[in-house]
Each structure stands twice: as structure tokens, then as C-alpha cells.
Amino acid sequence: ETGVTQTPRHLVMGMTNKKSLKCEQHLGHNAMYWYKQSAKKPLELMFVYSLEERVENNSVPSRFSPECPNSSHLFLHLHTLQPEDSALYLCASSQEVQGGQPQHFGDGTRLSIL
């Protein structure tokens, strides 16, 4: 496989459930990102990891918990979500965080909170 792969593609969960989103990149990149894409709003940066270290937490509620076990994998652990958390969650990677490096995106996980 090449590029950035996200699983699952679709997820429906209740507000009391715990689930995890997975992202894997096969590009040899050092930086990985989580974004939230909601209708009528710009993409919102959630978290940034560089060489497995979190370098940005963009005021995201604690019900979202990221994990980066190595430079190829990124997880977003979800618990006690709210209806307004329903959105498309996009993972991206880039060679480095700095220097105008273009980001490569996965196809996203469509999350629906009941």
C-alpha cells in the first residue's frame, strides 16, 4: 500500500461508547496530523505529531485522545463524544512539520454520534 490509509471509513457510535480511529502512512514522513472537517466550516487542525512527539494540541476537548506509537501510525481515541463531534476526521502526513512541506491526506473517517 502507498499513501495515507485511514480505518474505519465510517463509524457510528453512541455518546457513551469508546472507539478508536487509525491512520497509517507509508511515505516515510516524520510528521502526522489529525483534522476535523465539518460542513460549512474550514478544516480544523486538532493535533500535530513530529517524530512521535506531540507538538500541537489545538484546544481540543479531552474526550479526544491522540496516540502516536511510531512515525507511521497515529490513533485518535474517542470517548463520551457529543453530537456536535459528528464530522469527517482526516489524517495527514508530511516530510517535516516546518518548511512548507505539503501534507498528504487520507480519505477520512466519517463519524456519526447518535
Partner 1 sequence: AQSVTQLDSQVPVFEEAPVELRCNYSSSVSVYLFWYVQYPNQGLQLLLKYLSGSTLVKGINGFEAEFNKSQTSFHLRKPSVHISDTAEYFCAVSDLQGGSEKLVFGKGTKLTVNP
Q: Which residues would be at the binding site for partner 1 (CB under 8 A)?
A: 4, 6, 40-43, 45, 48, 55-56, 90, 92, 97-100, 102-108
Least Cβ distance, residue 12 to partner 1 (angstroms): 16
In terms of CB distance, is 11 or 97 closer to partner 1? 97
In terms of CB distance, is 56 or 67 closer to partner 1? 56
Residue 93 corresponds to which cell in the numbers above?
502526513
- Identify residue 82 by its one-letter amino acid code: Q
CB 65 within 8 Å of CB 55: no
Least Cβ distance, residue 2 to partner 1 (angstroms): 14
